[in-house]
Amino acid sequence: METTLRGVGVSHGVAIGQVRHMGTAVLEPPAKQIPAEEAEREQGRARQAVEAVAADLIARGNLAGGEAQAVLEAQALMAQDPELIADVERRIAVGSTAERAVYDAFAAYRALLANAGEYLAGRVADLDDVRNRIVARLLGVPMPGVPDSDEPYVLIARDLAPADTALLDPALVLGFVTEEGGPTSHSAILARALGVPAVVALPGAGELAEGTVIAVDGSTGDIFVEPGDERRAQLERAAAERKAALSAATGPGATSDGHQVPLLANVGGPADVPAAVEAGAEGVGLFRTEFLFLDDSREAPAEEKQVEAYRKVLEAFPEGRVVVRVLDAGADKPLDFLTPADEPNPALGVRGLRTLLDHPEVLRTQLTALSKAAEGLPVHLEVMAPMVADRADAKAFADACREAGLSAKFGAMVEIPSAALRARSILREVEFLSLGTNDLAQYTFAADRQVGAVSRLQDPWQPALLDLVALAAEAAGAEGKSCGVCGEAASDPLLACVLTGLGVTSLSMGAASIPYVRATLAKYTLAQCRRAAAAARATDSADEARLAAQEVLSGE
Residues in contact with ligand PEP by CB under 6 A are 286, 288, 328, 415, 436-439, 486-487
Q: Which is nearer to ligand PEP, 435 or 552 (CB)?
A: 435
**Closest distance between Mg ion and the C-beta of residue 437, in Å?**
9
286 binds, among ligand PEP, Mg ion, none (CB under 5 to 8 A by kind): ligand PEP
**Closest distance between ligand PEP and the C-beta of residue 328, in Å?**
6
288 binds, among Mg ion, ligand PEP, none (CB under 5 to 8 A by kind): ligand PEP
C-alpha 511/C-alpha 280 separation (Å) is 8
487 binds, among ligand PEP, Mg ion, none (CB under 5 to 8 A by kind): ligand PEP
Q: Which residues pair with 6 in a beta bridge?
A: 222
DSSP 13-25: SEEEEEEEEPB-P
C-alpha 12/C-alpha 396 separation (Å) is 40
**Closest distance between Mg ion and the C-beta of residue 130, in Å?**
33
**Closest distance between ligand PEP and the C-beta of residue 146, in Å?**
22
Phi then psi for residue 91, to 5 deg, are -65, -35
129 binds, among ligand PEP, Mg ion, none (CB under 5 to 8 A by kind): none
Residues that bind Mg ion (CB under 5 A): 415, 436, 439
**Closest distance between Mg ion and the C-beta of residue 416, in Å?**
10
Q: Which is nearer to ligand PEP, 367 or 486 (CB)?
A: 486
Burial of 58 (0-12, 13-18, 19+ CB in 10 A): middle
Q: Which is nearer to ligand PEP, 103 or 432 (CB)?
A: 432
97, 206, 267, 550 from 523: Cα distances, Å: 67, 40, 27, 13
Q: Which is nearer to ligand PEP, 132 or 355 (CB)?
A: 355
Please name the amino acid found at residue 342.
D
486 binds, among Mg ion, ligand PEP, none (CB under 5 to 8 A by kind): ligand PEP
Q: Which is nearer to ligand PEP, 23 or 262 (CB)?
A: 262
Sign, CA dihedral 381-163-334-423, equals: positive
**Closest distance between ligand PEP and the C-beta of residue 103, in Å?**
37
**Closest distance between Mg ion and the C-beta of residue 520, in Å?**
24
Please, what's the b/e burial string for 458-491 (b: 16 or more CB within 10 A of its CB; e: otherwise)?
Answer: bbbbbbebbebbbbbbebbeebebbbbbbbbbbb
For residues 42 and 232, the answer to whether their CB atoms sit within 8 Å is no
C-alpha 393/C-alpha 358 separation (Å) is 12
**Closest distance between Mg ion and the C-beta of residue 348, in Å?**
14
13 binds, among ligand PEP, Mg ion, none (CB under 5 to 8 A by kind): none
**Closest distance between Mg ion and the C-beta of residue 386, in Å?**
6
C-alpha 152/C-alpha 213 separation (Å) is 12
Phi then psi for residue 140, to 5 deg, are 70, 30
Picking from 297, 154, 260, the residue whose alpha carbon sits closest to that of residue 507 is: 260
CB atoms within 10 A of CB 264: 30
Q: Which is nearer to ligand PEP, 353 or 552 (CB)?
A: 353
Q: Which is nearer to ligand PEP, 182 or 487 (CB)?
A: 487
SS3 185: coil
Rounded to the nearest 5 degrees, what angle is found at the Cα of 199, between the Cα atoms of 197 and 202? Answer: 160
For residues 439 and 449, the answer to whether their CB atoms sit within 8 Å is yes
Q: Which is nearer to ligand PEP, 174 or 473 (CB)?
A: 473
**Closest distance between Mg ion and the C-beta of residue 284, in Å?**
16
Q: Which is nearer to ligand PEP, 97 or 508 (CB)?
A: 508
437 binds, among ligand PEP, Mg ion, none (CB under 5 to 8 A by kind): ligand PEP
Q: Which is nearer to ligand PEP, 268 or 493 (CB)?
A: 268
Please name the amino acid found at residue 483.
C
For residues 173 and 194, the answer to whether their CB atoms sit within 8 Å is yes
Nearest residue to Mg ion, by Cβ distance, number only? 439
Edge-to-edge order in the sheet of strand 198-200 = 3-6, 222-225, 213-217, 14-21, 153-157, 173-178, 198-200, 8-11
As annotated, the active-site residues are 186, 486
* DSSP 8-state symbol, 406: -
SS3 308: helix
DSSP 414-472: E-SHHHHHTHHHHTTT-SEEEE-HHHHHHHHTT--TT-GGGGGGG-TT-HHHHHHHHHH
SS3 337: coil
